Chain A
Amino acid sequence: MSSPEAPEQLYAAREPVFPRRVKGKFRNLKWLIMIITLGIYYLTPWIRWDRGPELPDQAVLVDLASRRFFFFWIEIWPHEFYFVAGLLIMAGLGLFLFTSALGRVWCGYACPQTVWTDLFILVERWVEGDRNARVRLWNAKWSANKARLRLTKWVLWAFIALATGGAWVFYFTDAPTLLVNLVNGSAHPIAYTTLFILTATTFFFGGIAREQVCIYACPWPRIQAAMMDEDTITIGYRHWRGEPRGKLKKQAVDTNQGDCIDCMACVNVCPMGIDIRNGQQMECITCGLCIDACDEMMDKIGKPRGLVDYLALKDEESETQGKPTIPVLKHILRPRTILYTALWSIVGFALVFALFIRSDIDMTVSPVRNPTFIVKSDGTIRNVYEVRLRNKHGEARPFGLALNNGSELNLDVEGSEGTIITVNADEMKNVRVYVEAPAGSEAASSERVPFTFWVTDLTNQERASVDTIFNGRNN
Chain B
Amino acid sequence: MSTRNDKKEVETTGHSWDGIEEYNNPLPRWWVWVFYACIAWGVWYTVAYPAWPGLKEATAGYLGFSTRARVANEMAAVDAANADMVAALETVDLAALKDDENLHGFAVNMGSAVFKANCSQCHGSGAAGAKGYPALIDDDWIWGGRIDEIAFTVTNGIRNEQSFSARGYGGVMPSFADVFSGEETSAVVAYVRGISGQEHDAALAAEGETLFLDNCASCHGDAGMGSLAATREYEDPTALYPDGEMTGALNLTDAIWLYGGDEATITETLVKGRAGVMPAWSEEFRPGSGLSAAEINAVAAYVHQLGGGQ
Contacts and interface: CB of A to CB of B under 8 A. Distances in A.
Tell me whether A and B are bound partners: yes
Interface of A: 1-3, 5, 7-15, 17-18, 135, 212, 216, 267-268, 273-275, 278, 281, 368, 370-371, 374-379, 382, 384, 414-415, 432, 434, 439
19 contacts: A1-B14, A7-B11, A14-B28, A14-B30, A18-B1, A212-B28, A212-B30, A275-B5, A275-B6, A370-B128, A371-B126, A374-B128, A376-B140, A377-B254, A377-B255, A384-B137, A414-B307, A415-B305, A432-B307
B26 A12 contact: yes
Contacts of B125: 370
Contacts, number: 103
B137 A274 contact: no
B308 to A, nearest CB: 9
Greatest chain B CB density within 10 A among A135, A212, A376 is at: A376
A10 B24 CA distance: 9
A429 to B, nearest CB: 10
Q: State the 6 A-B residue pairs at the shortest beta-carbon distance, nearest first.
A: A370-B126, A2-B14, A377-B254, A371-B128, A379-B255, A12-B26
A11 B307 contact: no
A281 B23 CA distance: 13
B17 interface: no
A414 to B, nearest CB: 6
Contacts of B138: 374-377, 382
B5 to A, nearest CB: 5
B139 interface: yes
A1 B13 contact: yes
Interface string B230-273: 00000000000000000000010011100000000000000000
B3 interface: yes
Contacts of B279: none
A376 B3 contact: no
A268 B255 contact: no
B256 A376 contact: yes
Contacts of A135: 1
Contacts of B27: 10-12
A4 to B, nearest CB: 8
Per DSSP, chain B at the interface is loop
Classify chain B: how many residues form its interface, as a range. Answer: 35 or more
Contacts of A378: 254-255
B305 A432 contact: yes
B56 interface: no
Contact of B5 (A8, A278, A377, A379): A278
B124 interface: yes
Contact of A3 (B4, B12, B307): B12
Contact of B126 (A15, A275, A368, A432): A368
Interface in B270-286: none
Given A375-B256, A379-B255, A275 B307 contact: no
A7 B24 contact: yes
A368 B138 CA distance: 14
Nearest to B125: A370
B179 interface: no
B135 interface: yes
A281 B139 CA distance: 80
A439 B4 CA distance: 89
A11 B6 contact: no
Given A377-B255, A382-B307, A3 B139 contact: no
Nearest to A264: B1
